[in-house]
Amino acid sequence: MFSYRHAFHAGNHADVLKHTVLIAALKHLTEKDPALAVLDTHAGAGLYRLDGDYAETSGEAANGILKLLADPEPGQPPLVAAPALQDYLDLVASFNKSGGKKVYPGSPFIMQQLLRDHDRLKLFELHPTDSKTLSANIAQLSAGRQVAVFREDGFEGIRKFLPPPSRRAFLLCDPSYEIKSDYSLVTEMIANSLKLFATGTYAVWYPIIPRPEAHDLPRKLKTLATKAGKSWLHATLTVKFSKLTTDAEGEVKRPGLPASGMFLINPPHTLKAALKPALAQMVERLGQDKHATSTLDSGG
């Protein structure tokens, strides 16, 4: 269960989607004065080096954040980013020296950057190495009581913080899904969280891969939202063909992650309009073949 390391995937197309949604949601939620409690169930290491061994081994950032930051190809116009996408690019840039592209902030650091002094951030990470790295990275912020790190299972750990004293909360859940049980744990956690605190905003990232559980998850989350009488938003980004192929030597070629989605319950009412042009630009800039596309649905 400790094989997954997000450092291999930092800054890939899934992070572009997840973090653009995260920033747009938090910018809206922090407009109201009362304190916001923010929970991250699978926080990772918090900060990543795009020139480090892990990221360079996978090369995934090259088709994600680095592709957005690169100079346009000949004949391609410069990117005039939609506001939500520009907010994401600006925040990533704030972690690098002028023009630099070496540091990538994970969700914990993106969240902390957007929070106000009276907001609170609870970070959960069970992986022993990543948890230690996360604690060390957070310590550099001198954030005091604003940020707390827990080496615990986030699926269970968040319960003690719902409902929060301020009655305002945002939760991000993005496990590795390397274990099939993660899919059912996500739905169980969201169902329990809605019972504990029905008005919180709950955001779930998931991979779109050839696995029944992956396709069932957004349907189950939609059912939970509908039964609870809550609004929902579902955004997906596909960058390439997802099927297994065979090369000339008969070897099966796996495509890597072709797509991912973000499902939110009680999303900010401004989110759908903010994401629509941003998603179109992600498809245009990050698409790797003719199958690249996006979807954006909402209800409730």
Encoded tokens for 213:
């559980």
> Which of 174, 216, 247, 289 is the catalytic position?
174
β-pairing, 147-150 vs 120-124, is parallel
- Tell me the C-alpha distance between 150 and 76, whole Å: 46
CA dihedral 110, 111, 114, 116 (to 10 degrees): -150
Question: Which residue in this structure is represented by tokens 């990221």?
Answer: 55
Give the closest residue to 44 by CA, choosing from 150, 166, 134, 117. 134
297 belongs to the catalytic site: no
Active-site amino acid positions = 174
